[in-house]
């Protein structure tokens, strides 16, 4: 199908957000624009939630974690949500609306953490902090933790799910349009078809963010930054990958899910038709974005998260 009407309207509005679509040398401007847009276009929660901020001890100090719980009924598990933004943008507060929606739909506790970002602090600082947060969540709430992440956050989820320290305590993972291959010479058809920038996310943006994130500490072909290149997928948790139809990252997300299935892991793919990268954050405007959050909640519940 073609781009749906609501997504066309979102693309038209995004085209006016020049700091996001054209870039800027002022990273603080790009970050503030990202936070404003990605928080404003998210749907409100289906039900009331309670939330508190917790300071968690992590590598190099502490980090702030927003803890969101449904206000009524039982809390049926814990989710660590890792936000996107190319490892350089986004914040816990920016994604609070999406996480409130997820918490109320899944009847689960949702944690969303701030973590160090590139280019100021490249790999592995952010990953190390999130590993500590995941361990803290398991120890604090006494049960396995499910992982949910969008875009670059999906990459981090997949790496943590395979991590020796925390992977054994991960109940399930949901990856929303994740970046699974950071190599500079990838040949995915979806990147060629949809990566010009016409559909918001561009190949130039993907590559620039990847270079910033890797810094000089890791090569892009290392599975710790490119999860699709791992040698063994057999021990991973049940996984749902959600990919928009017009997303340059579509093919690598589908490939990751196929590799898990081949290894005997429960693995599902949902194609969000007629829409673009970032759709879950635009759930207040794009129906497939809201459906993506609903499917995330359903999958977590069915996986015993």
Query: Looking at the annotation, which residues are catalytic?
Result: 151, 247, 277
Q: Which two tokens stand for residue 103?
A: 């918490």
Residues in the chain: 305
Handedness of CA 246, 251, 256, 258 (dihedral sign): positive
Q: How far apart are alpha carbons 50 and 81 in whole angstroms?
A: 16
- Residue whose entry in the numeric block shows the structure tokens 């699709």: 228
Q: Which two tokens stand for residue 105?
A: 């739909």
Q: How far apart are alpha carbons 41 and 24 in whole angstroms?
A: 22
- Residue whose entry in the numeric block shows the structure tokens 């997949």: 158
- Residue whose entry in the numeric block shows the structure tokens 């995004």: 14
Handedness of CA 59, 95, 106, 4 (dihedral sign): negative
96 in helix, strand or coil?
helix
Interior/surface letters 102-139, b for 16+ CB within 10 angstroms, e for the rest:
bbbbbbbbbbbbbbbbbeebbbbbbbebbbbbbbbbbe
Q: If residue 199 lies in a helix (H) or strand (E), which one and from where to where? A: none
């Amino acid at each position: 199908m073609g781009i749906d009407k609501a997504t066309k309207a979102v693309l038209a509005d995004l085209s006016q957000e020049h700091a996001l679509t054209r870039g800027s040398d002022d990273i603080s401007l790009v970050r503030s624009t990202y936070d404003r847009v990605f928080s404003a276009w998210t749907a409100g929660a289906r039900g009331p939630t309670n939330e508190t901020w917790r300071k968690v001890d992590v590598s190099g100090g502490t980090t702030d974690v927003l803890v969101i719980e449904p206000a009524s009924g039982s809390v049926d598990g814990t989710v660590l949500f890792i936000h996107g933004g190319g490892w350089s943008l986004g914040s816990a507060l920016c994604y609070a609306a999406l996480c409130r929606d997820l918490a109320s739909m899944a009847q689960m506790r949702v944690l969303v953490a701030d973590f160090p970002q590139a280019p100021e602090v490249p790999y592995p600082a952010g990953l190390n902090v999130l590993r500590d947060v995941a361990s803290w969540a398991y120890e604090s709430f006494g049960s396995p933790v499910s992982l949910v992440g969008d875009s670059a956050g999906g990459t981090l989820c997949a790496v943590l799910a395979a991590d020796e320290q925390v992977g054994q305590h991960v109940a399930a993972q949901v990856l929303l349009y994740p970046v699974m291959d950071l190599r500079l010479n990838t040949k995915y058809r979806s990147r060629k078809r949809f990566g010009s920038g016409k559909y918001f996310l561009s190949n130039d943006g993907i590559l620039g963010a990847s270079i910033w994130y890797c810094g000089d500490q890791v090569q892009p072909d290392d599975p710790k930054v490119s999860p699709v290149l791992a040698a063994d997928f057999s021990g991973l948790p049940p996984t749902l990958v959600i990919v928009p139809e017009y997303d340059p990252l579509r093919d690598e997300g589908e490939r990751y899910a196929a590799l898990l299935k081949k290894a005997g892991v429960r693995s599902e793919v949902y194609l969000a038709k007629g829409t673009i990268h970032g759709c879950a954050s635009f759930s207040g405007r794009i129906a497939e974005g809201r459906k993506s959050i609903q499917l995330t909640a359903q999958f977590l519940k069915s996986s015993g998260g």
